[in-house]
């Protein structure tokens, strides 16, 4: 597979505890000051690395059958949320429960324990919400 350019990604933290109710994200000390003001937001966008899906074979996968949906529809990885993709990056909107120094306690994180954190962005309803978005029927089942 040919790539146009190479970049560097710094892992800024790690999922220390994953769970249905609450999860804990530890931000590494050298990035902790970047959390200043984050507690003013109720929700955050978490970008993380699918570390258990990072192999050459899985990165070459471009067509999948989305498993979370009970339909047998083959789709491209860019048209679904499959962890199999050229760059195994996950995205999740979470509720921020609390911040304690470099530890974020959140609800709704779908990353696994040990998943490296790539970035955190505030969820801003006026910018991040799209009211007239459309999705295929299989994605709503």
Are 49 and 88 in contact, with CB atoms under 8 Å apart? yes
Residue 138 lies inside a defined structural domain of this protein: no
Mean pLDDT over the full length of the chain: 91
Residues 62 and 30 in one domain: no
Checking if the pLDDT of 8 tops 90, the result is no
Checking if the pLDDT of 139 tops 90, the result is no
Residue 20 lies inside a defined structural domain of this protein: yes
User: Mean pLDDT throughout 41-45?
Assistant: 97
Residue 132 lies inside a defined structural domain of this protein: no
Domain extent, residue 17, equals 10-50+89-124
Cα 82 to Cα 110: distance, rounded to the nearest angstrom: 12
User: Mean pLDDT throughout 19-31?
Assistant: 94
pLDDT given at position 103: 98
Checking if the pLDDT of 34 tops 80, the result is yes
User: Mean pLDDT throughout 32-41?
Assistant: 98
Percentage of the chain lying above the pLDDT 90 cut: 65
Contacts of 121 (CB under 8 A, 6+ apart): 44, 45, 47
pLDDT 10s digits, 98-120: 999 999 999 999 999 999 999 99
Checking if the pLDDT of 35 tops 80, the result is yes
Domain harbouring 110, CATH code: 2.40.30.70
Contacts of 128 (CB under 8 A, 6+ apart): 45, 93
pLDDT given at position 24: 98
Residues 44 and 107 in one domain: yes
Residues 15 and 46 in one domain: yes
Q: Count how many domains the chain has.
A: 2
User: Mean pLDDT throughout 4-28?
Assistant: 91
Residue 106 lies inside a defined structural domain of this protein: yes
Please work out, in degrees rounded to the nearest 5, the angle formed at the alpha carbon of residue 64 by the alpha carbons of 79 and 87: 65
Checking if the pLDDT of 16 tops 90, the result is yes
């Amino acid at each position: 597979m040919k790539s146009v350019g190479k970049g560097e990604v710094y892992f800024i933290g790690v999922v220390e505890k994953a769970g249905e109710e609450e999860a804990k994200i530890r931000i590494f000390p050298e990035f902790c000051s970047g959390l200043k003001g984050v507690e003013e937001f109720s929700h955050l966008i978490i970008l993380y690395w699918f570390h258990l899906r990072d192999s050459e074979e899985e990165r070459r996968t471009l067509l999948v059958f989305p498993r979370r949906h009970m339909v047998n529809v083959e789709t491209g990885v860019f048209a679904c949320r499959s962890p199999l993709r050229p760059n195994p990056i996950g995205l999740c909107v979470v509720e921020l429960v609390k911040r304690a120094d470099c530890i974020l306690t959140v609800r709704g994180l779908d990353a696994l324990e040990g998943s490296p954190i790539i970035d955190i962005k505030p969820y801003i309803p006026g910018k991040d919400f799209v009211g007239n978005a459309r999705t295929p029927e299989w994605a709503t089942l």
